[in-house]
Chains A and B, each alone.
Chain A
């Protein structure tokens, strides 16, 4: 089983030896990864009810991978870049470029003969990611799901600054007030996202076909079309593009060879986290501890080994 806990959505798949997907789910994280994973597990359990399947290995990826990895006692916890590359390669062995735009980050992965040779990830800011798109969709009062369709109707896309979301937003408001058509503005927004992506993340990268586009934003046909126009290549978007990360981590977890039978009754346990500043030195590391009931499982955030013990002691005393 592979679980991908992103900033916006949580995804999970169960695969067999031949990479066939036996069960899959996709739902919103809603800022609470633990609750989201519990829901995901319930869903997966339901889908597997009538099949005699035993989960022998769990991998986690995405921004909450460490937390969820601890709770699920995962055999493998790995970053989403590697996971995405591995997942995509099973479906497109000849892929050369992977574009990925998710909720809070965007990345590009360059693959040569089935091996990752280069990658880049957006740096500090979240310009041109899914979070920005959905914020603008709300502003224009259009559901995110229909956003792409609107863009396709555009005749003359408006020019919208792509460097920074703050600039883009003021440009967008200005254009709207000037009386531009909604679809033109939206198409312009899609173009600006693509330009932003290619100039920041894709800068200096050798973009060659075949290109696969993934992540939540890939569901937006408007952005896909903008990519095709600007890059001048066919862009592949998979139906299961959003599952590539968890698929990859599932494969990687299987390949570790470690087998720990996974138990669904985890759902009945109460997990909670507690953060505390260590206070052992002026650095004051913020250490986060995960508890199952009252029992300490794991913690992180400390810069020295003494920190975790201190915080553990503090927190257990409080309880």
Chain B
């Protein structure tokens, strides 16, 4: 049992996209020093691969790499969240691996169960003042930070390809993250968010009336961690594509809290391609793909770590959707490869195809008056 001297503890957490700001707020609830692991780099994944079972999926390796790098920096408490697939059990394995490597640390896992008393008890091991209201405030704060990041990220995803002066948005986004990192109350988050929202809207863009719209679905870690997917969003976005993504941390949390309602809605979206939950985020992928196909999106990108069971399940349904709606879907599997050229080639071809398709429909529309819509209704009757 850890002693109550809290200054001794130094907590760390794994990286995922830009969420380190929000994760930090949760780790702070342990009332100890926070050690942010260095940003994910090749070294992270090398470390992760070296000590992981070969056939485990890539998020495991990234997380393990993060932990090792943080432990080297002096951390002695690891905070990890649960997950819907086998990711939920990764913590135990990682704990054993790190212990056998000789590191001394406490492993703090946020369970999948949302029983506030259990969670509070866990926290109280580290922080005596961790009452339920205290924790609630902390979680809500982290949630708001995540939400603010997501809202801004969403705007960036949809507009980065159309900015008049390249690079402005990235610069502003970085300063947004820096500022958000420093604050710790609700009003300040709200104020910062609003300030930056206005600033982002001030950046001049040259967006066409009907830009090419592409959805991004798949396994949550690879979707949300740009390093692991070779910055697929940014690369495609910069070509002049509006990218829509639904998997976000706030989304995952709300879907946990209102799970029944959430699943029901997804089920109705996924009909008739799925009749039951297929694990992980597979149902989400299929439901969102079907929704986007019906909304007349130009295409879809599906990403997964190599060997991800739920997403492999989803792919079969996605093939059907692609056929029925003439909806192009491109699939990517990621592992510890560092060569980007394969991904770049496929992305470029995907983009070329969408452009060619657009041109064709523009022609059809002039001749028949609305070729695209017509096509879409025809396929709907399947």
Contact = CB atoms under 8 A, between A and B. Distances in A.
Given A203-B319, A283-B41, A82 B333 contact: no
A63 interface: yes
Nearest to A61: B345
A81 B330 CA distance: 13
B118 interface: no
A123 interface: yes
Nearest to B359: A115
Contacts of B265: none
B380 interface: no
B43 A282 contact: yes
Interface stretch (B102-110, B194-202, B253-261, B320-328): B320-328
Interface in B227-285: 231
Contact of B43 (A78, A116, A118, A283): A283
B352 A113 contact: no
Contacts of A121: 345-346, 349
A117 B353 contact: yes
Contacts of A115: 356-357, 359-360
Interface residues of B, number: 32
A81 B349 contact: yes
A282 B38 contact: yes
A292 interface: no
A120 to B, nearest CB: 8
Nearest to B345: A79
A79 B352 contact: yes
State which size class the interface on A falls in.
Answer: 20 to 34
Contacts of A80: 345
B87 interface: no
A284 interface: yes
B345 A117 contact: no
Given A113-B360, A116-B356, A204-B320, A123 B331 contact: yes
B341 A63 contact: yes
A82 B41 contact: no
Contacts of A78: 348, 352
Contacts, number: 77
B122 interface: no
Nearest to B45: A283
Contacts of B33: none
A117 B326 contact: yes
A78 B330 CA distance: 18
Q: Is the interface of B mostly helix, strand, loop or mixed?
A: helix
A114 to B, nearest CB: 8
Contacts of B323: 204, 206
Contacts of B328: 117-119
A82 B349 contact: yes
Contacts of B353: 81-82, 116-119
A152 B332 CA distance: 37
Contacts of A82: 348-349, 352-353
Contacts of A306: none
B155 interface: no
Given A79-B352, A124-B306, A116 B341 contact: no
A118 B324 CA distance: 13
A116 B331 contact: no
B333 A123 contact: yes
A113 B38 CA distance: 51
Contacts of B349: 79, 81-82, 119, 121
Contacts of A283: 39, 41-43
Contacts of A116: 352-353, 356-357
Contacts of B181: none
A240 interface: no
Contacts of B38: 282
Contact of A282 (B41, B319, B322, B330): B41
Contacts of A178: none
A261 interface: no
B2 to A, nearest CB: 31
A229 to B, nearest CB: 24
B43 A81 contact: no
A141 B227 CA distance: 45
Given A81-B352, A118-B353, A204-B323, 14 more contacts: A78-B348, A81-B346, A82-B348, A82-B349, A116-B352, A124-B306, A204-B319, A206-B323, A282-B39, A282-B41, A283-B39, A283-B41, A283-B43, A303-B231
State the 6 A-B residue pairs at the shortest beta-carbon distance, nearest first. Answer: A204-B319, A283-B41, A81-B349, A282-B41, A115-B360, A82-B352
29 contacts: A63-B341, A79-B352, A80-B345, A81-B352, A82-B348, A82-B352, A82-B353, A113-B360, A114-B360, A115-B359, A115-B360, A116-B352, A116-B356, A116-B357, A118-B322, A118-B326, A119-B328, A119-B350, A120-B330, A120-B331, A121-B346, A123-B331, A124-B335, A203-B319, A204-B320, A204-B323, A281-B39, A282-B42, A284-B42
Interface of B: 38-39, 41-44, 231, 306, 319-320, 322-323, 326, 328, 330-333, 335, 337, 341, 345-346, 348-350, 352-353, 356-357, 359-360
